[in-house]
C-alpha cells in the first residue's frame, strides 16, 4: 500500500494528478461533497446556534468506506479546489475519516501541472476554518430561505415551487426588464445621411443631429437641394485599442456566449474538463491577476512568435473588492500550446482562453482617426464624416481584430463638395435589451449578487423550474418611412422592417411574474438587490475572519422568520393575482382570472365556501385565449373560452370530435387520441375542417407504421426505425431491414436492447 493518500473531488482530476506523483502516492476521489445537509429535512437546528446536521448521502457510502480503508495506513493529503467549496469538501472528508482538520496536510494549486503539484506538496497547510465557516454560512442561509420560503409558495401559489436567495433575485431582474420593455413608448426620428463627390470619390457623412418628424425631414432635404457644401474642418488624431484583461469566470461566460454561442452551464462544464486535464488554471475566479511565471512565459512566446514590438507584459488590477489577489485569472497552463482538448467544444474554449490570456500581454493596436466636418450654406447644421486606419495591429494579431479600415478620400479644408444624394431614414428608440445568459451574468456581477461559481447553477435552476424560458424572438413588422432627395424632388417611400428579432433571450413565464410579485410584496427585503449583495459581502467578512458565521445567520433569521409568519395571513386569491373581470351575461356568475395549479386560468362562478359540500355548484374553468396574459385578458375575450371543450361533430365512423386548449396549445380529441391544432381556432373549426385534420394525421401516422403485431409495433421515427411495446423503444440496427422485422425479431430486440454508447 502507498504511504500517502491524496484525496481530490473529481476522478478526472485524480487521474491527472496521479501522473505527477511518485509510487509512494495513491490518488482517490471523493466525487464532490461526501457529506451534506439531509435532502428531506432542513437539517439546521435554529434554536441551537444554527447547528447543522450533516450526513453521508446514500450514493456516497461506498466512496466513504473505500476512503476510510485506504486512509488507515497512509498519510492523508487533501487536494480539493482552492475556493470555499473546495475547503469545505476537505473539511467534510476530515470528519468522515476522523482526522483533525488542524493537523492534516492540505495542499492547493490553481493549475494541475507538475511544478504546481510539486510546489504544493512541498508547502502543505492545514484546513482554513474561516473559509469552511463562510461556505457553511452560505449553505445554511440558502437552506433556511429555501426550506421556509418554498412551502409558503406551495400554499399560496402552486405546489412544487422553489425560492432561493440568489435565484429569486435573478428571476426578478428578468421580470422587471420584460415589464420595462412592455411599458416602453417608442419615439421616432429621422437620421439624415448624404453622399458627396470628393474629387471623383464618394464621401459618406451623417447629419450630426436627428430630425423630429417627417415634416422636418422633408423641409431639410428640400433646403439641402439648393445649398452648397464645403469642408469646414479636418481633425486627425492617433488612437489605440487596448486588450482586455485575462478571463475571470464571469467574463469567460460572457465571451464564450458571444463568440461561441455557449450557454453558461456549457461553458463551465467544458472549462472544468480543461482544468481537470491540466490544460488551464482553476476556472472559478474573480481575479485578473497573473503569476510572474505566466507573464514571463507569455512574453517569451510573443517575442519568439511575433517579435519584440508585440510584447507588453501587463499586470491587471482586479475590480472586484472580494477577489483574492493570490488567485490567478483563467489562463492556459502552457502558452506554447495554442490548442488543447479532446473534442471540438473543448478545443474552441481552450483557444478562446489562450488567445485572451496571450493578448493581455501584448501591445495595444494603433489607429489613425480622421473626422471631417462639412458645413452647409445658409444653415448651421453640420455633416460629419469619419474614417479610421489601422496603423499597427498589436494584440489584434491573436485576439479580436478591428473593423475593416474606413479611409476617407483625400480632401482639404475649404474644399467644395457637390452633393450626389441624400436621404432621411426613420429610426425608433429602443428599450433596454432583454437579458441573455451572458448579459444576466454581467448584471449579477455588477450588482455584487452571487459569486462566479453560482451563476451557472442559478441560471440553470430558474430555467429548469419553469420560471424562465430561453427563446429566439421573431420580432414584429413595422412600417419605416424613408425620404430620398432625387432630381430636386423629395420622394417619400415606405418599407416594412422587422424589429425586436433576437436569439437566445431569457423571457419570464407568467409563473415568474406571479411569484416575483408575491415575493416583492411580502419579502421585499429578502430579494432586494442591495440586501443580497450585502449578504455576499458578509460571507466575505466571514472568510476574512471579521465576522462569525453564527452572528451573520442570527442577524438574518431575526429579520427573515417574522416575514414568514406574516405571510400566512396572505390569501391564496391575492397571491395568485385573482382579478374579477365582470359578470357572464347569460348566467350572471362572476368571471375571474388567476394563476391556478397548472398555470393561468379563467374561472366562471365561485368555489363553494364549504369544501365538504359535494352538492354545491362548482366553478367552471377555462384556459386563457392565446396571446393574452393575466394582466390584459378582458371579459369579452374570456366568455367564449367557457364553451370549451366544444363538441365539433363526429367522424365518418361516428366518433365524437371535441376541441379544447391544453398546456401545449389547442387540440382535437377523438376517442383517446389527441391531435394538435396549429392552423385552426378551436372555437370556430367546423366538422368538415376537423375531419380533414384527422385524416391528414392518420395518413402521416400510417407512413410511420411499418408493422403492427398487436403487443409490439415497428415504427419509422424522426431518428430512424424502431420497435416499441408502448413503454420501451428500441432502435433497429442499421444493418437490419426494418420492413423484414418479424414479431419474434421485435420481441427479441425489446428483451435485449443494444447497449447505448456512453457520452
Mean pLDDT of 198-214: 94
Q: Counting runs of H as helices and runs of E as strands, what totals does the chain give?
A: 20, 30
Judge contact between 510 and 576, C-beta under 8 A: no
Residue 482 pLDDT grade (very low, low, confident, very high; cuts 50, 70, 90)? very high
Q: Mind listing the pLDDT tens digit for each residue in 20-77?
A: 988 889 999 999 899 999 988 899 999 999 999 999 988 899 999 999 999 988 999 9
**pLDDT level of residue 756 (50, 70, 90 thresholds):** low
Residue 246 in this model has a pLDDT that exceeds 70? yes
Encode pLDDT of 5-20 as tens digits: 999 998 888 888 998 9
282 is catalytic: yes
Which of 457-466, 628-637, 701-710 bottoms out in mean pLDDT, i.e. has the lowest?
701-710
Q: Is the pLDDT of residue 227 over 60?
A: yes
Q: Do residues 167 and 520 touch, judged by C-beta distance below 8 A?
A: no
The cell 409495433 sits on which residue? 713
pLDDT band at 403 (very low <50, low <70, confident <90, very high): low
Whole-model pTM? 0.84
Looking at residue 323, what is its pLDDT?
Answer: 45
Q: What is the largest CA-CA distance in the chain?
A: 97
Cα dist from 439 to 261, 271, 527, 621, whole Å? 13, 19, 20, 39
- State how far Cα 713 lies from the chain centre: 41
Output the nine-digit C-alpha cell for 466: 419553469
Q: Specify the pLDDT at position 320.
A: 56
Using alpha carbons, select from 297, 273, 403 the residue that is nearest to residue 347.
273
Whether 319 shows a pLDDT value over 70: the answer reads no
pLDDT value at residue 130: 95
Closest CA to 711 of 698, 697, 723: 723
Q: Quick check: 676 pLDDT over 70?
A: yes
Phi, psi of 287 (to 5 degrees): -105, 140
Mean pLDDT value across residues 185-210: 94
261: how many CB neighbours lie within 10 A of its CB?
11
Tell how far CA 471 is from the center of its chain: 11
Distance CA 332, CA 335 (A): 6
pLDDT at 560: 92
646-667: average pLDDT: 88
**The total number of residues written for the chain in this structure:** 759
* C-alpha–C-alpha distance, residues 379 and 376, integer Å: 6
Name the percent of the chain lying above pLDDT 70: 97
Which residues have CB under 8 Å from 442's CB, separation 6+? 250, 254
Kindly compute the dihedral angle of the four CA atoms of residues 483, 485, 490, 495, in this order, to the nearest 10 degrees. -30
Cell of 98: 476522523
Would you place residue 220 in the very low, low, confident or very high pLDDT band (cuts 50, 70, 90)?
very high
DSSP letter for each residue of 605-657: S---SSTT-TTSPPPEEEPPPTT--TTT--HHHHGGGGG-SEEEEE-TT--EE
Q: How far is CA 368 from CA 55, 234, 240, 371, in A?
A: 65, 13, 8, 10
The Cβ of residue 596 has, within 10 Å, a number of other Cβ atoms equal to 16
* Closest alpha carbon to 523 in 46, 141, 149, 179: 149
DSSP state of 757: P
Catalytic residue among 262, 275, 282, 467: 282
Whether 205 contacts 196, CB under 8 Å: yes
* Span between the terminal Cα atoms of the chain, in Å: 33
**pLDDT at 1 (0 to 100):** 59
Backbone angles phi, psi at 349, to 5 degrees: -70, -40
- The more confidently predicted of residues 401 and 351 is 351
Distance CA 73, CA 26 (A): 12
- Measured CA to CA, the distance from residue 201 to residue 50 in angstroms comes to 77
Domains and CATH numbers, the chain: 4-127 (3.40.50.140), 188-239+366-399+414-422 (2.70.20.10), 249-359 (1.10.290.10), 578-642 (no CATH), 644-705 (no CATH), 709-751 (no CATH)
Contact 623, 659 (CB under 8 A): no
pLDDT higher than threshold 60 for residue 603:
yes
User: In angstroms, what CA-CA distances link 512 with 159, 163, 168, 505?
Assistant: 14, 11, 9, 15
> What average pLDDT is seen over the chain?
90
Amino acid at each position: 500500500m502507498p504511504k500517502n493518500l491524496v484525496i481530490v473531488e473529481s476522478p478526472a482530476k485524480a487521474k491527472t494528478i496521479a501522473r505527477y506523483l511518485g509510487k509512494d502516492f495513491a490518488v482517490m476521489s471523493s466525487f464532490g461533497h461526501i457529506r451534506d445537509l439531509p435532502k428531506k429535512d432542513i437539517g439546521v437546528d435554529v434554536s441551537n446556534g444554527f447547528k447543522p446536521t450533516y450526513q453521508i448521502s446514500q450514493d456516497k457510502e461506498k466512496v466513504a468506506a473505500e476512503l476510510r480503508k485506504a486512509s488507515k495506513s497512509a498519510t492523508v493529503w487533501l487536494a480539493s479546489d482552492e475556493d470555499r467549496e473546495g475547503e469545505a469538501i476537505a473539511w467534510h472528508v476530515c470528519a468522515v475519516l476522523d482526522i483533525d482538520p488542524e493537523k492534516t496536510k492540505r495542499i492547493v494549486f490553481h493549475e494541475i501541472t507538475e511544478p504546481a503539484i510539486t510546489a504544493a506538496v512541498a508547502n502543505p497547510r492545514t484546513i482554513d476554518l474561516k473559509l469552511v465557516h463562510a461556505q457553511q454560512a452560505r449553505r445554511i442561509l440558502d437552506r433556511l430561505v429555501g426550506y421556509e420560503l418554498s412551502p409558503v409558495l406551495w400554499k399560496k401559489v402552486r405546489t412544487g415551487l422553489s425560492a432561493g436567495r440568489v435565484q429569486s433575485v435573478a428571476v426578478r431582474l428578468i421580470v422587471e426588464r420584460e415589464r420595462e420593455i412592455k411599458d416602453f413608448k417608442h419615439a421616432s426620428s429621422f437620421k439624415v445621411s448624404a453622399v458627396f463627390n470628393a474629387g471623383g470619390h464618394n464621401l459618406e457623412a451623417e447629419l450630426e443631429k436627428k430630425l423630429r418628424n417627417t415634416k422636418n425631414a422633408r423641409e431639410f432635404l428640400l433646403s439641402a437641394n439648393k445649398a452648397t457644401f464645403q469642408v469646414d474642418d479636418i481633425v486627425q488624431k492617433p488612437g489605440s485599442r487596448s486588450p482586455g484583461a485575462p478571463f475571470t469566470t464571469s467574463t469567460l461566460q460572457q465571451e464564450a456566449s458571444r463568440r461561441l454561442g455557449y450557454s453558461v452551464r456549457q461553458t463551465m462544464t467544458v472549462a472544468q474538463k480543461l482544468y481537470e486535464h491540466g490544460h488551464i488554471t482553476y476556472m472559478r475566479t474573480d481575479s485578473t491577476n497573473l503569476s510572474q511565471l505566466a507573464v514571463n512565459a507569455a512574453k517569451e512566446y510573443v517575442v519568439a512568435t511575433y517579435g519584440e514590438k508585440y510584447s507588453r507584459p501587463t499586470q491587471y488590477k482586479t475590480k472586484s473588492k472580494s477577489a483574492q489577489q493570490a488567485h490567478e485569472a483563467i489562463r492556459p497552463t502552457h502558452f506554447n500550446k495554442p490548442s488543447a482538448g479532446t473534442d471540438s467544444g473543448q478545443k474552441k474554449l481552450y483557444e478562446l482562453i489562450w488567445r485572451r490570456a496571450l493578448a493581455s500581454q501584448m501591445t495595444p493596436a494603433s489607429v489613425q482617426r480622421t473626422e471631417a466636418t462639412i458645413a452647409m450654406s445658409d444653415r448651421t447644421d453640420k455633416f460629419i464624416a469619419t474614417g479610421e486606419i489601422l496603423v499597427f495591429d498589436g494584440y489584434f494579431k491573436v485576439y479580436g481584430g478591428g473593423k475593416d479600415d474606413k479611409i476617407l478620400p483625400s480632401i482639404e479644408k475649404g474644399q467644395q463638395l457637390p452633393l450626389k444624394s441624400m436621404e432621411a431614414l426613420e429610426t425608433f428608440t429602443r428599450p433596454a435589451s432583454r437579458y441573455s445568459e451572458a448579459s444576466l451574468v454581467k448584471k449579477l456581477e455588477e450588482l455584487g449578487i452571487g459569486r462566479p461559481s453560482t451563476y451557472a447553477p442559478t441560471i440553470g435552476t430558474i430555467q429548469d423550474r419553469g420560471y424562465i424560458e430561453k427563446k429566439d424572438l421573431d420580432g414584429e413588422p413595422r412600417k419605416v418611412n424613408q425620404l430620398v432627395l432625387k432630381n430636386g424632388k423629395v420622394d417619400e417611400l415606405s418599407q416594412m422592417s422587422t424589429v425586436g428579432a433576437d436569439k437566445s433571450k431569457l423571457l419570464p413565464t407568467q409563473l415568474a411574474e406571479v411569484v416575483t410579485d408575491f415575493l416583492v410584496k411580502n419579502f421585499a427585503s429578502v430579494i432586494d438587490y442591495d440586501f443580497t449583495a450585502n449578504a455576499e459581502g458578509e460571507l466575505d467578512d466571514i472568510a476574512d475572519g471579521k465576522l462569525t458565521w453564527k452572528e451573520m445567520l442570527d442577524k438574518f433569521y431575526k429579520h427573515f422568520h417574522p416575514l414568514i409568519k406574516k405571510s400566512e395571513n396572505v390569501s391564496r386569491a391575492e397571491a395568485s393575482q385573482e382579478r374579477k373581470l365582470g359578470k357572464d351575461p347569460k348566467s350572471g356568475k362572476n368571471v375571474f382570472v388567476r394563476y391556478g395549479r397548472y398555470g393561468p386560468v379563467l374561472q366562471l362562478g365561485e368555489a363553494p365556501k364549504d369544501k365538504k359540500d359535494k352538492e354545491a355548484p362548482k366553478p367552471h374553468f377555462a384556459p386563457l385565449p392565446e396571446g393574452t396574459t393575466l394582466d390584459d385578458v378582458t371579459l369579452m375575450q374570456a366568455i367564449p373560452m367557457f364553451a370549451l371543450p366544444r363538441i365539433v361533430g363526429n367522424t365518418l365512423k361516428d366518433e365524437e370530435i371535441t376541441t379544447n386548449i391544453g398546456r401545449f396549445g389547442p387540440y382535437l380529441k377523438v376517442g383517446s387520441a389527441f391531435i394538435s391544432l396549429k392552423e385552426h381556432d378551436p372555437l370556430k373549426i367546423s366538422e368538415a375542417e376537423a375531419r380533414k385534420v384527422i385524416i391528414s394525421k392518420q395518413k402521416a401516422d400510417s407512413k410511420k407504421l411499418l408493422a403492427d403485431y398487436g403487443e409490439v409495433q415497428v415504427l419509422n421515427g424522426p431518428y430512424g426505425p424502431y420497435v416499441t411495446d408502448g413503454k420501451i423503444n428500441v432502435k433497429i440496427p442499421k444493418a437490419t431491414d426494418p420492413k423484414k422485422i418479424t414479431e419474434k425479431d421485435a420481441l427479441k430486440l425489446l428483451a435485449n436492447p443494444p447497449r447505448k454508447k456512453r457520452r
